[in-house]
Structure 1
Amino acid sequence: MNRIYILLLSIILVSCSNDDDSQSQTSALNGEWNLVNITGGFIGMDQDFEKGIIVWNFNESTQKVTITNNSTIDGVYNGLPSGTYPYAISAPADADELIVNENSLGFLELTSNSFSVSEQFGDGFTIKFER
């Protein structure tokens, strides 16, 4: 009988999930990021941007992102216009999702010096950022 209790306790402890995962993603996202590339869409766009042209500054404490979009390229999708927007990271189905101004930008892949947001599942865009 004790073996059954130990087995059940082990299963319960192993199956617990960590709710802090999206919080650590938010912390890693904090700070200034340069939008460097946008690919995808129906037309198969692949547009590079120089660092400093489009800058997103994430503020973890206020949960807001300030976007400075100085792109002058006409007819090309270049993300959101300049402004300050609320943001959140949601984690449905084991994939972190970046939500800006209550709109999902896609799935988030984050490293220490870069991140991308991909909505390729719906013929959308992949947006790449670097520090």
Structure 2
Amino acid sequence: MIRYTLFVFFFLMLLSCSNDDDSSSSSELSGTWSLINVSGGFVGLDHDFNTGIVVWVFNESSNTVSITNNNTDDSIEDLLPTGTYDYSIETVGENREFILDNINRGNFEIMDNQLTINEQFRDGFNFTFIR
């Protein structure tokens, strides 16, 4: 009887578990994100942006992102000018990669209302956004 009870207990525990390892789902990407920091690159850039200077609005139903870029300093990396671009997310091994305008922009992660796109694997930049 004890074995049966233990078996049922462990079986119910297994059923109640969920896969929380994926810190983001695609629906978490929808909405408005402000670029707040760009760092890295060959020269070791580290620049903070005020919220609202560079804004990305993701539309998951059309897989587009509308970028409003009000950065007037051309010497500071801000990725793309104002416009609407196609995007996709591809899973490669353990990594989720962000494809923007048919260019792989790097690893993609959302955690605690912070979006990070990291292209430092090729001496690129690390882009940090918040909601």
The two structures have a TM-score, normalised by structure 2, of 0.79
Alignment correspondent of 2:28: 28
SS of residue in 1 equivalent to 2:25: helix
Alignment partners' CA distance in 2, 1:26 and 1:100:
15
Alignment partners' CA distance in 2, 1:34 and 1:121:
23
Alignment correspondent of 1:121: 121
Alignment correspondent of 1:83: 83
**1:99 maps to 2:99:** yes
Shift of 1:73: 1.6
Alignment correspondent of 1:40: 40
Structure of larger gyration radius: 2
Alignment partners' CA distance in 2, 1:39 and 1:83:
23
- Root-mean-square deviation (Å): 1.4
Alignment partners' CA distance in 2, 1:61 and 1:112:
23
Shift of 1:55: 0.1
Poorly superposed stretches of 4+, deviation over 3 Å: none
Alignment correspondent of 1:66: 66
Greater helix proportion: 1
Shift of 1:72: 1.2
SS of residue in 1 equivalent to 2:93: helix
Gaps of 5+ in 2: 1-18
Alignment partners' CA distance in 2, 1:27 and 1:104:
20
Alignment correspondent of 2:15: none
Alignment partners' CA distance in 2, 1:86 and 1:25:
18
* Identity, % of aligned positions: 46
Count of aligned pairs: 110
